[in-house]
Structure 1
Amino acid sequence: MFVSCSDSSFLQSHWNHPIPELGTPPSHFSTLEKNLNPRACGTCHQNQFQNWEKSFHAKSASPGFLWQKEIFTQEEYKSCLNCHSPLAETKLEIDSNFQTPEIISSKSHNFPDGIDNPSILCASCHIRNQIRFGPPPRTNVTKIKTSGSMSHNSYVVKEEFESSEFCKSCHESKETGVRLSGKRLMEVYTEWERSPFAKQGIQCQNCHMPDREHSWKGIHDKTFVQNSLKPIWEVKEQNGQYQIQAELKNIGVGHNFPTYLVPKVYLRFYVIFKNKKLPILLEESVVGRVVNTDLTEEYLDTRIKPNESHKVRFNYEPKENLVSEMIWEIEVDPDEQYVRSFEEQLKTKATTLTTDAKKLLQESLSEKKNSRYILFTLNWKAPVSLPK
C-alpha cells in the first residue's frame, strides 16, 4: 500500500473531528497486530515507543488536564479532547458521553487489555479505519515487500507526516478562537510560516522529531532550549560606572520564543561586592507573553522572533567601587501561566471542586511549580587592580 503522494485533502480528513472509532481489525491480523496499545506497537517499533513514553504526547491526559473537566462545559471539554485524547476509544476512558455501543465494541477489539493511558497514542496519528499511515520509507520503495506477509497490511505513505501542516491541527488555535491584542492564543504554525525557517524548508519535525525521534522535545528540555538560544553580554566600567549590554538571540527556534503564553523566561542581573557574599539583584526582565488568568487581557508580549534578539541595556553606579563580580542568570519557567491559574482556581473553587478533582489539581500544581530550571549563568569578573 505504498502510495507516496501529497494529497491536499488528506490532512483535512485525517484530522476531521471527532475521529471515528477504529472499528474491527481484519480477521487475518495476528493477536499482536490487533492490539493498538502503544506497548504492543513497541514490540517492533522500540525506539519510537521508548521516546513516546517519556514525551508530553504521552502525558496529554495528565492530572493538569483531567481536573478541568469540572470547570468546563460539556462542549468545551469535548473540544479539548480532540487534541488531548483524539481517539474515540481514549475519549471513552475520560468522558462517559462517548460510551456508545460502537465505541465500546471498538475498544474491546483494539485494546483487549484496556487503556491505561488515554493520551495521544500511536494510533492517534497513524491509524484511521484500520489503515496504517506514515511518512515515506527511508529505504527505496521498490525494495520493500508489499505482499500480504507485511505486518498490518503494510502502510499508506503520506508525505504530510513530514510537513509542519501535520502539526497545525493541535498547535494552532482556530480562526474563530479568542484573540488578545489581535493574536490568537496559539499561532505556532503562523509564526513558523512567517519565519526564515519556513522559507528554507525546515519543518517542525526537523527540530522536534530529529531522525524521526518520537520525543517532541520543547521548552521543558534544558539542553534542547540551550541549543536554540545564544546569550551575549558585555560589561564595561568607566569612572566607577558600569555599562551592561546583554542580548538573548533566538538562533534555532522556528517560531516565537516562547511560542505559547504559558512559559516565561527571566533575565536577571546581579552584582557581588568584595566585602559581601550574597548577590544583589540589579535588573530583571521577562521574555514571554503575559496575560491574565481569564485569558481576556494581554499585558505584555516580549517573545523573541526567529533570528531576532531580546536586548537589555542599563547603567549601574555603585556607591563604593568594590564590585567583585557581575552575574547574568537566565531562568525558564515552562509552566508559569498554569501555576498562576491553578493557584487561583484552587483558592476560588476549593469548596466546589470534588475531592478527586481537587487532588488532581494539587498534584498538577506541585509538578508545574517544580519544572523551573536555570538555562544559562554568565559571569563577569571585575579586573584585578595591580599595585602601583
Structure 2
Amino acid sequence: MSIGLSIVSCKKKSFLSEHWNHPLSTQRNPEVQLTHNESNLDPKQCANCHESQMKAWQSSFHAKSIGNGFLWQKTVLSKDEWNSCLNCHSPLPETKAEISETFQTIEILDSKRKHFPSGIPNPSIQCASCHIRKQIWYGPPSRNLTAKQIESLKANLPHNGYKVQEEFESSSFCQSCHESPDSGQKLNGKHLMEVYKEWEKTSFAKEGIQCQNCHMPDREHTWKGIHDPDFVRAGLQPLWSLTRTTNGEIQIDAKLKSTRIGHKFPTYLIPKVYLRFYVTNRFGKRRLIEESIVGRLVNTNLTEEYFDTRITPGNSHLVSFRFADNEKEIKTFDWVIEVDPDEHYIRSFEESLRDKGNILTDQLKKQLQLSLSEKKESRYVLFTLSLPVPVLLPQ
C-alpha cells in the first residue's frame, strides 16, 4: 500500500488551491488537441481503459452526490446556498448546468455539448471532477513509470497522458470538500466539518497514513465509510464484562474503542451509534435496561449543539452501570451496537416534510419522501454480544 506524503509544500498547496478554485473553469481548451473520444468526459468513456475504477465509482457515494435527498432542497435554499452546495456535490460547471440556471451560460453549455455529447444523466462527482481541468489529465504517481517517463511518452498515450501530482495521495486533496472553511459556522467552538483538523492531530498523520489509505485502499474508487458495516467494524473493538457486587447487583462495564480510525468516530454530525444493553429471559423475551449514544447531536437548524460524545482515535466510549438482579429468569445480558448513518438527515427531512411539505411541488415532495425512506433503511446492527448469567459471577 502506498502511503502519501504527510507534509504538503507551498507548491502543492498552490496546486490544490488552483485545482479546487470554485467555480471551476469549463473544460474547453483550444490549445489542447484531442480526438472526439478523448474529449468525451462521460465516465462510460473513461471505463474503456479504467473499467475497475468506473465500476467502483458507480457504487460509491461520490456517484450518488446528486440524489433525491439533495435535489428536493433546491426550493428551500437560496440561489447562493444552492450553488455553494454544488461546489462539492457537482464540481464541474458542465454538470452544474444540469441543475442550476446560474451555470447555463453559452460558454458552459457549449463545453457541455462538446465534452458530454450524450448528455449528463448523472451530474454528480465524476471522473473529471477530480482528474481533469481544461482538458489536461491529472493523477497520482504511476506505480510503473516515473513522472519524467510519463511526460516523455505523453504523445503516444491517450489524452496526452497525465500530469503527476503527489497531492492525489495526500489527505489535503480531500480537504476542500470534507472540511469546513475557516470562515464557516461554528457550534460550541467547532466547525460542522473538521475531519481534516481531527486527522492532523493523530498518530495517523504523524505516520503518514492518509485518507486514501483507508478510504481508497489499493487506489480503489469506493470511498467506503459509515454506511459500510464491514468497513466500520474493522476500525472498532467492543469490550465488556459482568461482575457481581457485594450487595448482589450486577456491574456492567463496557467500552467501544476506536482502534483504526484516523478521526473522530462517527464523523461530522450526521451519524449516530447506539449502544443498547438488554436482558433476555429463558423464554427469549428481551428488555432494554440501558442505552448510550455516540455522536454529535445538533438541532436541524444547525444553531445549537446538544452533546458531542464522538470517540477520538485510540480512545473509547465507556458505559458503566449496575443492574439489580431481581429477575431469576434472566438467561443472558445482550449488548447491541446499532449504527444510524443518516440520523440527522432523517430528523431534518421529517421536520421539513411536516413544515414545508405544503410549499413543495409534487415532484420535490416525492423526492423528499423517497430520500427519507432511503435514509431510514440505511440503519444496521454493527455488533451483537451476549454474556450468560451464571449462578455465580466474579466479584
TM score, norm. by length of structure 1: 0.95
Secondary structure of 2:268 counterpart = coil
Per-residue deviation, residues 123-180 of structure 1 (Å, max 9, x unmatched): 0000011100000001132665614121100000000000000000000011111111
Which amino acid in structure 2 is aligned with residue 301 of structure 1? D
Per-residue deviation, residues 331-376 of structure 1 (Å, max 9, x unmatched): 0000000000000000001111111111111110010010000000
Shift of 1:280: 0.8
Which residue does 2:55 correspond to in 1? Answer: 50
Preserved CA contact (<8 Å) 2:271 2:342:
yes
Which amino acid in structure 1 is aligned with residue 295 of structure 2? G
Q: Where does structure 1 lack aligned partners over 5 or more consecutive residues?
A: none
Preserved CA contact (<8 Å) 1:260 1:289:
yes
Shift of 1:8: 2.9
Which residue does 1:277 correspond to in 2? Answer: 284
User: What does residue range 30-41 of structure 1 map to in structure 2 within 5 Å?
Assistant: 30-41=35-46
Which residue does 1:100 correspond to in 2? Answer: 105
Preserved CA contact (<8 Å) 2:39 2:135:
no
Shift of 1:7: 2.8
Which residue does 2:275 correspond to in 1? Answer: 267
User: What does residue range 348-363 of structure 1 map to in structure 2 within 5 Å?
Assistant: 348-363=355-370
Secondary structure of 1:223 counterpart = helix
Secondary structure of 1:79 counterpart = helix
Per-residue deviation, residues 239-268 of structure 1 (Å, max 9, x unmatched): 632111100000111000011100000000
Secondary structure of 1:289 counterpart = strand
Which residue does 1:326 correspond to in 2? Answer: 333
Which of 121, 145, 159 is the equivalent residue of 1:140?
Answer: 145
Shift of 1:96: 1.5
Which of 237, 240, 251 is the equivalent residue of 1:243?
Answer: 251
Which residue does 2:114 correspond to in 1? Answer: 109
Which residue does 2:221 correspond to in 1? Answer: 214
* Identity, % of aligned positions: 57
Tell me how far apart the structure 2 counterparts of residues 259 and 136 of structure 1 sit (CA, whole Å).
Answer: 29
Are positions 1:14 and 2:22 aligned together?
Answer: no
Shift of 1:200: 1.0
Which residue does 1:177 correspond to in 2? Answer: 184
Which residue does 2:79 correspond to in 1? Answer: 74
Structure 1 residues 322 and 147: CA distance shift in structure 2, 3 A:
closer
Which residue does 1:255 correspond to in 2? Answer: 263
Preserved CA contact (<8 Å) 1:60 1:84:
yes
Tell me how far apart the structure 1 counterparts of residues 180 and 149 of structure 2 sit (CA, whole Å).
Answer: 41
Secondary structure of 2:174 counterpart = helix
Secondary structure of 2:358 counterpart = coil
TM score, norm. by length of structure 2: 0.93
Shift of 1:31: 2.9
Tell me how far apart the structure 2 counterparts of residues 261 and 97 of structure 1 sit (CA, whole Å).
Answer: 30
User: What does residue range 373-384 of structure 1 map to in structure 2 within 5 Å?
Assistant: 373-383=380-390
Which of 84, 90, 94 is the equivalent residue of 1:89?
Answer: 94
Which of 171, 183, 189 is the equivalent residue of 2:196?
Answer: 189
Q: Where does structure 2 lack aligned partners over 5 or more consecutive residues?
A: 1-8
Please report the RMSD computed on the Cα atoms of aligned residues, expressed in angstroms: 1.5
Secondary structure of 1:7 counterpart = helix
Shift of 1:107: 0.4
Secondary structure of 2:359 counterpart = coil
Per-residue deviation, residues 170-226 of structure 1 (Å, max 9, x unmatched): 000111111110000000100101111111111000000000000000000000000
Preserved CA contact (<8 Å) 1:146 1:154:
yes
User: What does residue range 24-35 of structure 1 map to in structure 2 within 5 Å?
Assistant: 24=29, 28-35=33-40
Are positions 1:59 and 2:64 aligned together?
Answer: yes
Tell me how far apart the structure 1 counterparts of residues 41 and 312 of structure 2 sit (CA, whole Å).
Answer: 40
Runs of 4+ in 1 over 3 A off after TM superposition: 24-28, 142-145
Structure 1 residues 33 and 149: CA distance shift in structure 2, 3 A:
same
Which residue does 1:227 correspond to in 2? Answer: 234
Shift of 1:29: 2.4
Tell me how far apart the structure 2 counterparts of residues 281 and 191 of structure 1 sit (CA, whole Å).
Answer: 34
Q: How many residues align?
A: 380
Which of 298, 301, 310 is the equivalent residue of 1:294?
Answer: 301
Per-residue deviation, residues 45-79 of structure 1 (Å, max 9, x unmatched): 01110000000000001110111111110001110
Which of 312, 315, 319 is the equivalent residue of 2:322?
Answer: 315
